[in-house]
Amino acid sequence: MIDPDELYFSSEQYRNLLDEIGEGIEKEEIEQRADNSVEAAKYGLEVWDNLLKLMEMLRANSIYELSDQGVTIYDLLYWADCLSDQLANASREDKSFRSKRLKFCESYVEMHQGLLNKDVGNLGNIRASLALSYYEMGEIKKADSLFREWLELEPDWGWGWIAWSDCFWLWKFLGIKTDFDKAEKILREGLSIPNVLDKDHILERLQELLQEKKKAKLAQQSH
């Protein structure tokens, strides 16, 4: 990666790009505070395009690398996490943002291939967002295979087990039948991992799941 300080003093194009990124993030935050999800997502995607240009200029491989080198004054990992959520919110108002969310998450996950959530603080959230995008599109096998791949790479990722399990009972995805047994099996597999992180949260979610499963069974018996 090229030294960002060296490029800052030698390239007006680079300085202008940094300014555009800052202005875009500020506009995105204004729309976000006003609960204008679609407009916030549009500005966020413009920032993303400019960050990709910045990576190219610096010959950087990932957003994590930009963040690690302190290329901007912004917390880029936090920003990317927020954009993922903003795209999800926007997709509820405008379905065209489903594919945009998928494309962003896919690109982000791919550029951090081989890294762990414990290395890149927001990677787990964006991985989960990518899988949820596939679930929403009805590509259940693809989403399941992604969770399995990530959890084989990082089996102690506690919230990964929770996010995967949630897809089969907590979230009501069109085309995905509630499957308490599968959701329970996923959580119990997570609990079987030595030193799994956030074990208390997994146990809490399991108790919630078992309660909902019991309610559903009683409701079924009463009919």
Q: Is there a domain that residue 21 lies in? A: yes
Q: Is there a domain that residue 53 lies in? A: yes
Q: Is there a domain that residue 81 lies in? A: yes
Q: Is there a domain that residue 119 lies in? A: no
Residue 121, pLDDT score: 85
Residue 93, pLDDT score: 92
Whole-prediction pTM:
0.90
Q: Is there a domain that residue 211 lies in? A: no
High-pLDDT (> 70) share of the chain, %: 99
Secondary structure of the chain as H, E, C letters? CCCHHHHHHHCHHHHHHHHHHHHHHHHHHHHHHCCCHHHHHHHHHHHHHHHHHHHHHHCCCCHHHHHHCCCCCCCHHHHHHHHHHHHHHHHHHCCHHHHHHHHHHHHHHHHCCCCCCCCCCCHHHHHHHHHHHHHHCCCHHHHHHHHHHHHHHCCCCHHHHHHHHHCCCCCCCCCCCCCHHHHHHHHHHHHCCCCCCCHHHHHHHHHHHHHHHHHHHHHHHCC
Q: Is there a domain that residue 15 lies in? A: yes
- Count up the domains in the chain and report the number: 1
Residue 14, pLDDT score: 93
Alpha-carbon span 162 to 123, nearest angstrom: 15
Alpha-carbon span 65 to 44, nearest angstrom: 19
Which pLDDT band holds residue 7 (cuts at 50, 70, 90)? Answer: confident
Task: List CB contacts of 20: < 8 A, sequence separation 6 or more.
Answer: 50
pLDDT 10s digits, 138-184: 899 999 999 999 999 999 999 999 999 999 998 877 667 889 999 99
Q: Is there a domain that residue 8 lies in? A: yes
High-pLDDT (> 90) share of the chain, %: 84
**Containing domain of residue 80, as a range?**
1-94
Residue 223, pLDDT score: 64
Q: Is there a domain that residue 185 lies in? A: no
pLDDT 10s digits, 35-93: 999 999 999 999 999 999 999 999 999 999 999 999 999 999 999 999 999 999 999 89
Which pLDDT band holds residue 221 (cuts at 50, 70, 90)? Answer: confident
Give the pLDDT mean for 16-42. Answer: 96
